[in-house]
Amino acid sequence: MIKLISSLKAWGTPDFECTLQNEIQKIEPVLLPLQQGLSQTSYVSDSDISVLILNTSETSQDIIVKTGIQYAGINAGSCCADDPTPVSEQSEYCELQFNINKSTAETAVILLKN
């Protein structure tokens, strides 16, 4: 389970967006639905991600943040020893929603669109 504790503490302050961006960038990519958001490649690369805050709102229980995520994907070759396909990164983009529970900081991540 993802917990965005620092972001919860920063909610309502001018530092919230920066804190959230930093905290999201530290999440292991395998914990985010980035693989499902791929549109041009077949695997998520190990490269860093970039986070853009698109919208923030709240309910009585959650802080809801819509983000744009830029990351890299790769197209792997056929696994043959003589496969000439180079492994090169391509830019990918998807939108994720982070629902941060105001009591526990437990965060649900939802793929919105890619």
Tokens for 67? Answer: 């983000």
Check whether 22 has a pLDDT greater than 70.
Answer: yes
Least Cα distance to 24 among 65, 57, 59, 55 occurs for 65
Range of the domain at 30: 2-76+87-113
Looking at the chain, the whole-number percentage of residues with pLDDT higher than 90 is 78
CB-based contact 69:95 (threshold 8 Å): yes
Dmax of the chain from CA atoms? 58
Is 39 inside any structural domain?
A: yes
**What's the pTM?**
0.88
Is 40 inside any structural domain?
A: yes
Check whether 112 has a pLDDT greater than 60.
Answer: yes
Q: What is the predicted pLDDT for the residue at 76? A: 72
**Average pLDDT value for residue range 52-57:** 97
Is 62 inside any structural domain?
A: yes
Check whether 21 has a pLDDT greater than 90.
Answer: yes
Is 81 inside any structural domain?
A: no
Give how many domains the chain has, as a whole number: 1
Under the banding of pLDDT at 50, 70 and 90, the label for residue 94 is very high
